[in-house]
A and B are shown apart, each in its own frame.
Chain A
């Protein structure tokens, strides 16, 4: 039995060192660092503005307390004294218009400089951005298809990037809108139906970063995570090579039985395993499933128990997701799991 666990619980269990944070201030990439710096600046400015405001509010409230009464005569006098008083108007124009205008102009310029550093690598609507990008991420309800077009790699819910390099990523969607967000590396970019958006992704420090979908995309929007692994260029090259290779042929009897069950149960209708006849497209490519850190878009850690739990009842952990419950015997389940675990 698997405990009903959700998105990120698993991260603590992962073998690799994984930061258990999504904080935008724990930035590890240039774009995110710029946003974080701006964010701190804005917070400081806002606090100052608020304190000034608070002073102007609290002081008279305190000083003038108890001086008022609801008589008409006092008010009538005030109309005569204070009606459109030029000093008041000048003060308001200064404190309410001129000073805020300065502050707003300053933060606008600051932000705009940062924004231009975060520009898209390809022109808006560049028709072949998807071919020329280093990696392509395609959103599905509720998982991420990941392709490295030039390296012949197809995987899901996990990106690898060489540390310290700027990687160009093209984003598109198969169904509804989603949004690609790795808080520690960069701000969001939406995956908009019928459109290809592109971003730079850059990690300064090796490590695993957590990403999530940030545009409401249906009932399982809460469970549409992914991981970004930033590693040394050599490790990255290794990873690409492994992912490029077709699945290792099944040799052990249990694995072979699992492969047969995978076919007979209909899994292959939705899932592809390269190097075999399984060519389903509706679900994630499983060729190297065992190499992935998480299952079902960051919903479960990729352990044997969780994998078995997922295959036996995917609707339990992620109610409403697009993988149906496939009825199968205990032995079939064991076999299928063994097969899936062999897909390194």
Chain B
């Protein structure tokens, strides 16, 4: 973790760079990770970690998408025997679980990891090592979950795994143990990740970036992170209860033993509903960043949108039982949660109105990222409206657990997660890589994906209203379900083609995209003030912010100066960034940050060992895992050698790490 230190006068004789080139040289020496295997395994650079998150999430998206493709083949026509019921159940469960936990939220963590420090004008996250740990444990937990498919015993109780179906009596195999342990592992990763965002945003904003000047993307990441911190423990509790019931014959969910089957549903959805907002809020942030850029004006009603994202995160905790309208709750209770669901829609209305207003009074430039945002708007509003419909009890009792809900969830998830993510990739690709993506291919991928998504998911509304329950591995012909299912499968194929075009564009542009320049879109936020890709230290000089749209409001000279390092060297004494006050972002002092470290990876590996031990019910591996975890934690927090400021740049020399010990998370 970054540790605040008292001002230390530079030790006598330390080189004090005055020349900007020397300053940059020195910053590179301090911040750059050597391009070696050891460097790759120990780096704490938020940009590297962010990109890794993106790739890993994309990888899981393709796996989960392939699951869905198989499901769609099975459902293409009635009475198909392509998949066995057991296979189908594992596929839809893994599809849902992986899309939600291994794609939708990590992909946004990827963006936030890369962008938040740049957007707030910091050199890294508050806890760089914790950040590396988040990534490694996400990777291991994801492999743990998907490992179940390799042994043909994947979770098969749906992504919300209702008891009693998932208790030992009805699911004796290891399938649900993979689910419970894998998600518990992932929860650790996600919780520390969220904590890291909260603290970084609270404390590391550039001087002048008071909370009313924070980019909306930062607001949305903050709201989502706060929701995570309070929602995830509910899942943790549910999973622990489940695993105890399964392994040690406790009775949390066992009505015969005084437990309650509905307790699981409550715990799951108390987590689950806030979670669906977690996976859209940063995506809203992406949209709120891109639309203004391509409409060449600030976002309309900034304050309202910021408030809207905070209130979605808060109200999101009050609606969970709208997933349980048919469980026999009292009419009082269902009406309450129905009313709450109507209320939680209001902030989305405000956000939508703000985007529309921005476009209305803007001068749109039709680049690919903007098109994806338009696609988002169309899909999200359709999904939101079907959400409102299911929020009404008398209607939901007919459509719940049918394909109508499947249609709703895909319109919001694909519309408000996948499309913004694709918008974001096209938008920030130049920043990530220094190269532009191909506009023509980008537009083509947009149109194919947009048409594909609608052909894929629109018929599901009809299927649901025609009475097709969800999670059925097959259906009968002649019941009005044939055409809808057929078209849906066609849509899945179109969607896949669109995705392949997108992949082709990424590959092509990585190999030979045109050089991007620092700010190809003429955007306003701080990440565009630095080179593409940004240097390891992000900013040669921590910028001072004077408004919400720094690059638009602060003149060109000043922008150039933000990153030149020409105006006197700053913060060259080690891994340092500025800490500022929570509300006003007034300068508070220098934060020291730890450097690269092997311990995050070691700790994640130790946890992986522990969870595998638990999975295999091996006493010794589990014990070894515990010991390794404790050891890794101890080593992590053990103070590193003291390398005082002012160590002269010596490439590859000893003493690269300028961190002070002090709990170096």
Give, as a whole number of angstroms, the nearest-CB distance from A82 to chain B. 5
Listed residue (B300, B343, B346, B480) with the most chain A CB atoms within 10 angstroms of its CB:
B300
Asked if B522 and A75 sit within 8 Å, CB to CB, the answer is: yes
Asked if B381 and A104 sit within 8 Å, CB to CB, the answer is: no
Residues in chain B near residue A6, CB distance under 8 A: 78-79, 474-476
What is the CA–CA distance of A65 and B374 in the complex, to the nearest angstrom?
A: 14
Q: Does A274 contact B (CB under 8 A)?
A: no
Asked if A177 and B162 sit within 8 Å, CB to CB, the answer is: yes
Asked if B327 and A320 sit within 8 Å, CB to CB, the answer is: no
Asked if B551 and A72 sit within 8 Å, CB to CB, the answer is: yes
Asked if A220 and B85 sit within 8 Å, CB to CB, the answer is: yes
What is the CA–CA distance of A220 and B259 in the complex, to the nearest angstrom?
A: 26
User: Which of the residues A100, A107, A217 comes within 8 Å of B346, measured between beta carbons?
Assistant: A100
Asked if A7 and B480 sit within 8 Å, CB to CB, the answer is: no
Q: Does A319 contact B (CB under 8 A)?
A: yes
Give, as a whole number of angstroms, the nearest-CB distance from B302 to chain A. 7
Which residue on A lies nearest to B397, using beta carbons? A187
Which residue on A lies nearest to B308, using beta carbons? A96
Asked if B393 and A112 sit within 8 Å, CB to CB, the answer is: yes
User: Which of the residues B89, B296, B397 comes within 8 Å of A188, measured between beta carbons?
Assistant: B397
User: Which of the residues A105, A118, A176, A320 comes within 8 Å of B85, measured between beta carbons?
Assistant: A320
Q: Does A60 contact B (CB under 8 A)?
A: yes
Q: Name the interface residues of A193-227: CB closer than 8 Å to any CB of B.
A: 193-195, 197-198, 212-222
Q: Name the interface residues of B563-606: CB closer than 8 Å to any CB of A.
A: none
Q: Name the interface residues of A42-94: CB closer than 8 Å to any CB of B.
A: 42-43, 46, 49-50, 53-54, 56-57, 59-61, 64-65, 67-72, 74-76, 78-79, 82-85, 88-89, 91-93
Give, as a whole number of angstroms, the nearest-CB distance from A76 to chain B. 5
Residues in chain A near residue B297, CB distance under 8 A: 75, 78-79, 82
Residues in chain A near residue B478, CB distance under 8 A: 8-9, 12, 20
User: Which of the residues B81, B388, B397, B400 comes within 8 Å of A107, measured between beta carbons?
Assistant: B388
Asked if B361 and A35 sit within 8 Å, CB to CB, the answer is: no
What is the CA–CA distance of A83 and B546 in the complex, to the nearest angstrom?
A: 14
Asked if B522 and A71 sit within 8 Å, CB to CB, the answer is: yes
Given the contacts A57-B374, A96-B354, A187 and B326 also touching, CB distance less than 8 Å? yes
Asked if A5 and B79 sit within 8 Å, CB to CB, the answer is: yes
Asked if A38 and B349 sit within 8 Å, CB to CB, the answer is: no
Count residues of chain B with CB under 8 A from any CB of chain A.
109
Given the contacts A92-B357, A104-B346, A115 and B331 also touching, CB distance less than 8 Å? yes
What is the CA–CA distance of A63 and B158 in the complex, to the nearest angstrom?
A: 47
Which residue on B lies nearest to A116, using beta carbons? B331
Asked if A111 and B359 sit within 8 Å, CB to CB, the answer is: no
Q: Does B365 contact A (CB under 8 A)?
A: yes
What is the CA–CA distance of A193 and B116 in the complex, to the nearest angstrom?
A: 46
Asked if A95 and B398 sit within 8 Å, CB to CB, the answer is: no
Q: Does A183 contact B (CB under 8 A)?
A: yes
Asked if A183 and B524 sit within 8 Å, CB to CB, the answer is: no
Which residue on A lies nearest to B78, using beta carbons? A6
User: Which of the residues B374, B467, B474 comes within 8 Å of A23, measured between beta carbons?
Assistant: B467
Q: Does A232 contact B (CB under 8 A)?
A: no
Given the contacts A57-B359, A92-B353, A124-B329, A23 and B480 also touching, CB distance less than 8 Å? yes
Q: Does B8 contact A (CB under 8 A)?
A: no
Interface-facing stretch out of B29-37, B279-287, B333-341? B333-341
What is the CA–CA distance of A120 and B479 in the complex, to the nearest angstrom?
A: 30
Give, as a whole number of angstroms, the nearest-CB distance from A130 to chain B. 14
Asked if B328 and A53 sit within 8 Å, CB to CB, the answer is: no
Asked if B301 and A72 sit within 8 Å, CB to CB, the answer is: no
Give, as a whole number of angstroms, the nearest-CB distance from B373 to chain A. 11
Given the contacts A56-B356, A83-B298, A100-B345, A112 and B335 also touching, CB distance less than 8 Å? yes
Q: Does A22 contact B (CB under 8 A)?
A: yes
Give, as a whole number of angstroms, the nearest-CB distance from A121 to chain B. 12
Q: Name the interface residues of B148-194: CB closer than 8 Å to any CB of A.
A: 157-158, 162-165, 169-170
Q: Does A277 contact B (CB under 8 A)?
A: no
User: Which of the residues B254, B301, B394, B553 comes within 8 Å of A79, measured between beta carbons?
Assistant: B553
Count residues of chain A with CB under 8 A from any CB of chain B.
103
Q: Mark B521-565, 1 if CB is under 8 A from A, else 0.
A: 110100000000000000000000001110111001000000000
Q: Does A132 contact B (CB under 8 A)?
A: no
Asked if B304 and A93 sit within 8 Å, CB to CB, the answer is: yes
Give, as a whole number of angstroms, the nearest-CB distance from B127 to chain A. 34
Asked if B360 and A190 sit within 8 Å, CB to CB, the answer is: no
Residues in chain B near residue A7, CB distance under 8 A: 475-476
Q: Does B466 contact A (CB under 8 A)?
A: yes
Asked if B381 and A79 sit within 8 Å, CB to CB, the answer is: no
Q: Mark B301-342, 1 if CB is under 8 A from A, else 0.
A: 111100000000000000000000011111100110011001
Which residue on A lies nearest to B160, using beta carbons? A216
Asked if A115 and B398 sit within 8 Å, CB to CB, the answer is: no
User: Which of the residues A39, A69, A175 comes within 8 Å of B465, measured between beta carbons?
Assistant: A39
What is the CA–CA distance of A35 and B521 in the complex, to the nearest angstrom?
A: 50
Asked if A39 and B395 sit within 8 Å, CB to CB, the answer is: yes
User: Which of the residues B81, B335, B470, B474 comes within 8 Å of A115, measured between beta carbons?
Assistant: B335
Asked if A96 and B349 sit within 8 Å, CB to CB, the answer is: yes
Given the contacts A96-B349, A193-B255, A79 and B401 also touching, CB distance less than 8 Å? no
What is the CA–CA distance of A110 and B342 in the complex, to the nearest angstrom?
A: 13
Asked if B359 and A60 sit within 8 Å, CB to CB, the answer is: yes
Asked if A195 and B328 sit within 8 Å, CB to CB, the answer is: yes
Asked if B479 and A221 sit within 8 Å, CB to CB, the answer is: no
Asked if A60 and B364 sit within 8 Å, CB to CB, the answer is: yes
Asked if A72 and B522 sit within 8 Å, CB to CB, the answer is: yes
Give, as a whole number of angstroms, the nearest-CB distance from A59 to chain B. 8
Residues in chain A near residue B304, CB distance under 8 A: 89, 92-93
Asked if B361 and A112 sit within 8 Å, CB to CB, the answer is: no
Asked if A89 and B79 sit within 8 Å, CB to CB, the answer is: no
Asked if A75 and B374 sit within 8 Å, CB to CB, the answer is: no
Q: Name the interface residues of A146-179: CB closer than 8 Å to any CB of B.
A: 175-177, 179
Known: A21-B480, A68-B363, A221-B472. 8 other contacts (CB 8 A): A8-B475, A9-B477, A56-B356, A97-B350, A108-B339, A176-B165, A192-B328, A216-B165
A-B contact pairs, 26 of them (CB 8 A): A6-B78, A9-B477, A21-B466, A22-B479, A23-B465, A54-B378, A57-B378, A60-B356, A68-B296, A68-B365, A69-B296, A72-B522, A74-B363, A79-B298, A79-B552, A88-B357, A92-B301, A95-B356, A97-B353, A104-B345, A111-B338, A187-B326, A189-B326, A195-B261, A215-B401, A222-B474
